[in-house]
Amino acid sequence: MSFKRLISTAAITSSFCFAPAHAAEVVFYITEDGSAADAVSVAVNGQRQIVNPQGFVTFELPADSYTAELSQYGAWVGEADFTLENDDSSEDVFVEILGGEAIAETSSSDAAGGVIKGQLISNETGGPVSGARVSAAGTDLGVITDDDGSFSLELPRGNYTLTVAHPSYQRAELNVNSMPGVPVDLNVEVGMSGNGVIEEVVAVGTYVADSATSQERDASAVLDSIGAEQMSQFGDSSAASALKRVAGVAVVGGQFAVVRGLQGRYISSTLNGGLMPSTDPLRRDVPLDLFPANVLGGINIQKSYTPELPGDTTGGIIMMTTKDLPDGPVNKIKGSLGVNMRTTFSDVAYYDGSETDWMGVDDGTRDLPAAYAAISNNGEDAIEVCTFDPEICTSPEDATKAFNSFDHNFAVKNVQAKPEKSIAYQIGTLRDIGPGDLGYYAALQYKDKWTARHDAEVDDLGVVGTYERTKRNIDATGYFVVGYEDENMVLNSKTTLLRNTENTIKVAQLLDVDEEQPQDEVILQWVERQFLAQHFLGEYYFDQKNSLDWRINLGQTKRNEPDRRTYQYLAGNLSNSTVERRFSELVEDSLDIGFDYKYETNLSAETLLKLKFGAMASEKEREVTLVRVGMDANPASGIDFSSGIEEIINDENVDDGFVRYQSRTAATDSYTATDSVTAYYGSFGLDFYSLQLLAGARSETSEQTLTYPNSNSDESSLSSTNLLPMFSLNYQAMEDLQFRFAASQTISRPGLTERSLSVQFDPDTDEAIIGNPDLVISEITNIDVRSEYYFSESESMSLAYFTKDITAPIERTIPDGSGSAARGVTFRNEDSAAVSGIEFDIRKNFIETIYGSAFVAGNLALIDAEVTLSEESARFEGRDSRRLQGQSETLANVQLGFDGEEYGHSLTLLVNYAGDRIYKSARSIEPEFEEARTVVDLVYKWEPSERLELSAKAGNITDSAVKFSRNDEITEQYYEGTTASLSFSYSFE
Amino acid sequence: MELNKNILAISILSATLVGCGGGSSSSSSDDDTTTPVAGTPDFVTCNADETICTLEGTIDQDFTLESGIEWRLGGFTVVGSGGSVLADAAAVTAAKEAGVTLTIEPGVHVKAFSTGALLVTRGSKLMAEGTAAQPITFSSIQDEDFDGLGEWGGVIVQGFAPQYGPGDTGACFGSGTVCNVEGEGGDEVGNFGGNEPADNSGVIKYVRIAEGGKVAGPNNEINGLTLQGVGHGTTVEYVQVHNNLDDGVEWFGGTVNAKYLVLTGNDDDDIDFDEGFKGNIQYAIIRKNPALVAPSGSNDPRGIEANSSDDEYVPQTEGALANITLVGAFMSNDEPAMRLRGALTANVYNTVSYGFEHCVRIDDANTDKDNGTGSTVAGVDGIDELSDVTLNNVIGNCGDLGADEFYEERTEDAGSNNGYDNTVVIDSAGALANSSATVTQMDFAEVDNGSGFAFDNTTYIGAVEPGTSEADAWWAGWIIEGSLDDIETQDPTFDPTPAD
């Protein structure tokens, strides 16, 4: 009953896809030895086409008489004559190739139809898929597959898009021709796993990512997914911007995800199934903007834990997969040009870097000069300028030479910010090589983007002023996947190189109100992040019941921050002790291997048993080196410290011995760390009538060690083994209504730097970040309840409630410090935290006309997360409990879309709201909040032809200020500017 | 017997180290032949004839710096291991039992390399007891003079006395007895504090600390003498801090009293107390460097800086000071001679200031940083906790000389005979030489920190009794030569910028 309704809905929504014939048409149906012919090409009137897998070729031609030439494997096999009487006529040409010779028979077509028959096979089980709906777009015709997965559908003559839909499978679309007297037999494979239908699939007119919906519907756990289609629909250029569209997900600072009010600490990330390597030593989560859209195949967000996932999947997991093999040839170029209404062409703070900065690569200009490295043990040891003991002393001559090997380049100047530009190229194909398909896909991208904070003001804790901050991001990406797939297996090798370079210039003019002292600060920071990975991934189907997935992921992340320069003028004079050049590098090598084995069998007609087990091992080795070089100036030198910094730090003053560089590297600045996780799990699933039960457990053993090669500080390590059980129950009350319940236990481990003795400095504020070696692992109990209602295959509504009880949550808090050591931040296990929330999500189509359709999608999350502080934190923060850091109480998204499929236009309006959240807790006073903010984006797309796609995006339309506050008084605010961009993509084939 | 065995073991260990060049990058000698002497522990390396010995690492046994040897600080040198986190009372007891004593003989000159600093951890003691004739000196090794600034770290002493957290966050021991407060001064400074006001960290007497204050991180310098949670069982008398890039002496909590301080050429404040310090200070001469145009570090040079501002206030802080002479210079002429703030309690007696922008600045605290509510002072938004300042016989000539710029912000809460005095004259002994100097005797109120400290109830203003000759002043003979020369003619309006 419900299917009937589904079919009619589908028919209406799809009706705009049906393209009317504009010219006379001839359809060739070519068979060889009784079945569809392979590799036959047909040439008519200067056009040449190859038969499709069903044996059809269609030409649209002006009315005339023609001779078609047929060849196979390059050899002539025959010809066929036909006549098209007028523009409305159509001819069918049946060609039978017998013994290498084509015998053609031509007939005028009539309205009588053909029969499309076929069988649906599950990709996962290899078995038939029953109960699936097969319908033809543009008609109200549809059937349900029977117990063997078979269907038979009579269709009038024509070309159709067949849609295959099943609650547990990904939606599939295929192109068929129906001709009288020509039986079409199809074997259609459908898969449960998502992300297959991405971009390169012809998805004209698919305005809701159906793959995502089906995937969501299938999962036993609470799952949201975004395919690349959706990302491009919304103009999302990276994972970070795409994630904002998912219920209960917020993205902080454009880079880090907050899922269900839980920030990075409670969210795990995987890339192609393996644990994600980290790229920022100060964070334990992954900057999402590292992955551009033409490399990402898809993102799944699962908001509840299941045993095959990492044990730290508490708020959720962000599973990113890079692109798989394409479904056919791809050869596409993309480009874009964008402006920021405030930034572009305005004067922004900048400085002279290296010759190759435009590539995002420093040419060595920023390296610690060799002459300095030589006299300072690579910057680790202080330099003693003296002569009394050659073993210890560096002579003044050598020292001067070494100091002058620095470029003394500190000055900030103004330059005009350039428009944002990017260029990308993608190429790939999939070829049938007999037993299976072999294919590849490669992508290259370059992007250069300038952003700035405008009218930035600060007024907090007695410091008032303004600042300018310019950021130039240069991204370069290379990606290559090659693979093989056949009935039994999939083998892929994926190679990824991502580079993201960030050049930040910050100039602040502040006044310390309390000290009545002007305080001008400059930060010049160049950070190169690089991610290089080689992933080998395989799937193997032994038979209909048994399957194995495996992966070997090798990765290396690097973060190189050479010559970060900072200095301050206090009361108009350069403060020597604030001058610092910092050189830091992080290299992390990772190896992640794992497998998942699945066994599924029908115990009876109504009972499906699913068993799953697997294991993984991950090993990361991190090496961090940090060198700090400060400046000493002789106060009696007569230098005028109120002059420009290059009048103070220059070759002459160094030669005169007035100015010296000096290493200020602390012994614990550099460290090496290992982080290993091994896990195995098993789960048991039972589908019984409308009940789905899943139970399982995971055993996870982890060990972290930190050592300080330059210090006699002890090695610090943390190891534990945790058993993490879960249980879930799904009840399908009706075909289109289901209820879910899940309970699980998860953990949260401290990050490496959170336990490090090495005092790090916050890149933005220069605040000391003091690790806490005593941190322990937090344990979390999760409960999820969710109900879902599907209006149609592409329309749904869900309501969820969840609670999370966290024991010993780790929060960024106030150190027990004295003097300047009290000003930093540290991490502490608090007593407990309780998180509960409601999520509402809806997708609904609301206007359907012959010109197009419109939809509204939205989600709303209301979250309450309170942390009960430990005695120490309570004493320092002056409160016993507060909201969990980084967590908004309200998160909302609304998308309004209009699709004018007829002419290839689409318009999407996106509104994203994040309520206020604690930015930073403070000693004894109110925490600093990031104020609630609404961002509105508008995306317009036009596809004038199948090859060309144009889009225009207006971002941050309202350009409301980013604001921070304390006690409801603004502490900091700035504007990011409205952006406008135009992009095109052109497919060569 | 036990000790002998240890020494034997150490000597074998040391001997084996010779072959691989020793463990210290700063191991040193004049004749290039570094030879650890048998019986020398591994934190010390000496040259062959034992005329020069270098300290580095953790001094984990009682040790004496004998006179006649040139002692050097090759790096961060830590006495004892009380700086590690002490989890409970048993750990505190164990730390005390494991405490060691570093004794420095009179006349010893400790020369520090640029990474050098001396940290005495809680439970351990520094016995640095010089004499007026043979003071103990710390300075940098870079040159023979004492003119440098920020050329090495400084001396840091930590104890088990209470510290109170900024922001009125209470005693460091909370509801328990154990403290682990991370000290200022860089990564290597460990934890201090406890609940023992009477704790004893030794004796620092006739000690001169010069040219210190090395930068330990952005906006982070080391004080000349840093006293973190040091108890009143400790003696601090006759101490000079000269040319330090940060403060002269800074107290972070603790209860240790001090007498006879000479604080000269320091780039930041000279006397700085905070974080619940409870103690008394009598007789101090403070002199700013007349040769500097501006501070060299990220500093705001005042004579006395007590407690932190506003949200960092510590109302438990309580200090009593008597007989201080403060002489400003051009580099400090934007700053007050003394700044008393942060809802503290302070009593200042018989003190004279000369040549700062203002003589006395008293601030109250806006503790919640909320400008809208809770103001207890008319016209000042948000003030909600007041300082309690008593001044008696506190006079001075500050501001543009000749104009009354005695107070900044507000006047004292109690006291008498205070204010602007344009007749102030300082003589070469650091004594007040005009008629304002003599006052009637009054009872100074000491801070009761349990020490039983009693002020000398002097009848004069300033650090030195009027009429005392230079040679008879309490500072004569032991301070760094020349460091108080020409104090009587110091002109804070003189701009030392050299002409182009």
A531-541 average pLDDT score = 93
Examine the pLDDT at B24 and tell me if it is beyond 70.
no
Least confident of A30-44, A135-149, A214-228: A214-228
Q: Which range has the worst mean pLDDT, A192-206, A569-583, B72-86, B147-161?
A: A192-206
Between CA A56 and CA A411 the distance in angstroms is 69
Q: How confident is the model at residue A71 (pLDDT cuts 50, 70, 90)?
A: confident
Going by pLDDT thresholds of 50, 70 and 90, the confidence category of residue A62 is confident
Residues of chain B in contact with residue A761, where contact means CB-CB under 8 angstroms, are 217-218
Partner-chain contact A514 B309, CB within 8 Å? yes
The predicted model gives A931-942 an average pLDDT of: 88
- Could you tell me the pLDDT band of residue A191, with boundaries at 50, 70 and 90? low
pLDDT band at A644 (very low <50, low <70, confident <90, very high): very high
Region of poorest pLDDT, from A315-324, A460-469, A673-682, B135-144? A315-324
Q: Is the pLDDT of residue A973 over 50?
A: yes
Highest mean pLDDT among A84-93, A316-325, A345-354: A345-354
pLDDT band at A119 (very low <50, low <70, confident <90, very high): confident
Residue A320 has pLDDT above 90, yes or no: no
Beta pairing class for B249-252 and B271-274: parallel
**In this predicted structure, what is the pLDDT of residue A456?**
94
CB B261 within 8 A of CB B430: no
What is the percent of chain A with per-residue pLDDT over 70, rounded to a whole number? Answer: 83
Are B215 and A630 an interchain contact pair (Cβ–Cβ within 8 Å)? yes
In the predicted model, is pLDDT for residue A776 greater than 90? yes
Interchain proximity A925–B187, CB inside 8 Å: no
- Least confident range of A623-632, A730-739, B16-25, B73-82: B16-25
Q: Which residues of A485-501 are buried (b: 16+ CB within 10 A; e: fewer)?
A: beeeebbbbbbbbbbbb
Name residues whose C-beta falls within 8 Å of residue B171's C-beta, 6 or more positions apart in sequence: B162, B163, B164, B179, B195, B276, B316
Q: Give dist(CA A793, CA A956) in Å, integer.
A: 32
Chain A environment of B172 (Cβ under 8 Å): 816
Range with the lowest mean pLDDT among A121-135, A411-425, A535-549, A707-721? A121-135
Q: How far is B209 from chain A (nearest CA, A)?
A: 19
Q: How confident is the model at residue A208 (pLDDT cuts 50, 70, 90)?
A: very low
Question: Which among A384, A568, A759 is the nearest to B113, CB-wise?
Answer: A384
Q: Which chain A residue shows the shortest CA-CA distance from B24?
A: A392
Q: What percent of chain A has pLDDT over 90?
A: 39
**A471 neighbors A459 (Cβ within 8 angstroms):** no
**pLDDT-based confidence at residue A27 (cuts at 50, 70, 90):** confident
A652 Cβ contact list (under 8 Å, min separation 6): none
pLDDT at B486 over 50: yes
Say if residue A19's pLDDT is above 50: no
Residues of B with CB below 8 A from A381's CB? Answer: 25, 115
**Tokens 């001709």 belong to residue:** A179
Q: Which residues pair with A674 in a beta bridge?
A: A621, A705
pLDDT at residue B9, as a whole number: 41
pLDDT of residue B342: 87
Q: For residue A316, is pLDDT > 90?
A: no
Give pLDDT, residue A575: 86
| C-alpha to C-alpha distances, B164 to B158, B169, B172, B197, nearest whole angstrom | 14, 7, 6, 12
A513 touches chain B (CB under 8 A): no
pLDDT of residue B499: 56
The predicted model gives B20-43 an average pLDDT of 49
What is the pLDDT of chain A when averaged over all its residues? 82
Cα A838 to Cα A835: distance, rounded to the nearest angstrom? 11
Q: How far apart are CA A118 and CA A737, in angstroms?
A: 29
**What share of chain B in percent tops pLDDT 90?**
70
| Segment of A40-49, B241-250, B490-499 carrying the highest mean pLDDT | B241-250
3-state secondary structure of A945: coil
pLDDT tens readout for residues B363-390:
999 888 776 655 556 556 688 899 999 9
Residues A947-956: what's their mean pLDDT?
Answer: 89
pLDDT at res. B333 = 85
The predicted model gives B348-354 an average pLDDT of: 96
The pLDDT value recorded for residue A687 is 85
**What pLDDT score was predicted for residue A324?**
87
Q: Is the pLDDT of residue A604 over 50?
A: yes
How open is the CA angle A19-A24-A30, to the nearest 5 degrees?
A: 90
The full length of chain B comes to 500
Within 8 A by CB and 6+ apart from A386, the residues are A392, A393, A394, B141, B142
Do residue B497 and residue A638 have CB atoms under 8 angstroms apart?
A: yes
What is the distance between the terminal CA atoms of chain A, rounded to a whole angstrom? Answer: 43
Q: Could you report the per-residue pLDDT of B73-98, keeping only the tens digit for each?
A: 988 899 999 999 999 999 999 999 99
At residue B374, the pLDDT reads 53
Test A878 with B167 for CB contact under 8 angstroms: yes
Q: Which pLDDT does position A781 carry in this prediction?
A: 96
**Candidate from A640, A712, A821 with C-beta closest to B182:** A821
pLDDT computed for residue A31 by the predictor: 80
pLDDT score at A368: 95
| Predicted confidence band of residue A565 (pLDDT cuts 50, 70, 90) | very high
A398 vs A144, higher pLDDT:
A398
Q: Identify the CA nearest to A132 among candidates A220, A49, A218.
A: A218
Alpha helices in A565-658 (DSSP H): 645-648, 651-655
Give residue-wise pLDDT tens across range B419-474: 999 899 999 999 999 999 999 988 899 999 999 999 999 999 999 999 999 999 99
Interface A-B, measured as beta-carbon pairs within 8 A, has a size of 193
Pick left, alpha or beta for residue B206 (phi over 0 → left; psi -120 to 50 → alpha; otherwise beta): left
Q: Does A948 touch chain B (CB under 8 A)?
A: no
Whole-number pLDDT of residue A471: 93
The strand ranges marked E within A461-545 are 463-485, 489-512, 517-541
Radius of gyration from C-alpha coordinates of chain B: 23
A570 contacts chain B (CB < 8 A) = yes
Interchain CB distance below 8 Å, B149 and A923: no
Assess contact for A850 and A902: CB atoms under 8 A: yes
Burial label, B230 (beta-carbon count in 10 A; 0-12, 13-18, 19+): buried
pLDDT at A527 over 90: yes
pLDDT, greater one: A306 or B102? B102
Q: A720, A284 in Cβ contact below 8 A? A: no
Residue of B220, B252, B334 to mutate for A, most A C-beta atoms under 10 A:
B220
Average pLDDT over residues A220-227: 47
Q: Is residue A805 scored above 50 in pLDDT?
A: yes
- Closest to B92 (Cα-Cα) out of B114, B123, B64, B65: B123
What counts of helices (H) and strands (E) characterise chain A?
Answer: 9, 60
CA atoms within 13 A on the CB side of A842: 11
Confidence class of residue B31 from pLDDT cuts 50, 70 and 90?
A: very low
Is A577 close to B296, i.e. CB distance below 8 A? yes
Q: Which of B280, B245, B288, B234 is nearest to B263 (CA)?
A: B288
Answer yes or no: is pLDDT of A115 > 80. no
pLDDT for B420? 93
Whole-angstrom Cα distance, residue B267 to residue B302? 9
pLDDT at A697 over 70: yes
Q: What is the mean pLDDT of chain B?
A: 88
Q: Does A580 touch chain B (CB under 8 A)?
A: yes
Tokens of residue A750, six digits: 């401290």
Residue B21 scores a pLDDT above 60 = no
CA proximity to A830, closest of A862, A863, A875, A864 = A875
pLDDT > 90? residue A720: yes
In this prediction, residue A196 carries a pLDDT of 25
Residues of A in contact with B291 (CB under 8 A): 635-636
Distance CA A662, CA B388 (A): 44
* Three-state SS sequence of A54-83: CCEEEEEECCEEEEEEEEECCEEEEEEEEE
Q: Give this complex's ipTM.
A: 0.86
Average pLDDT for B195-211? 97
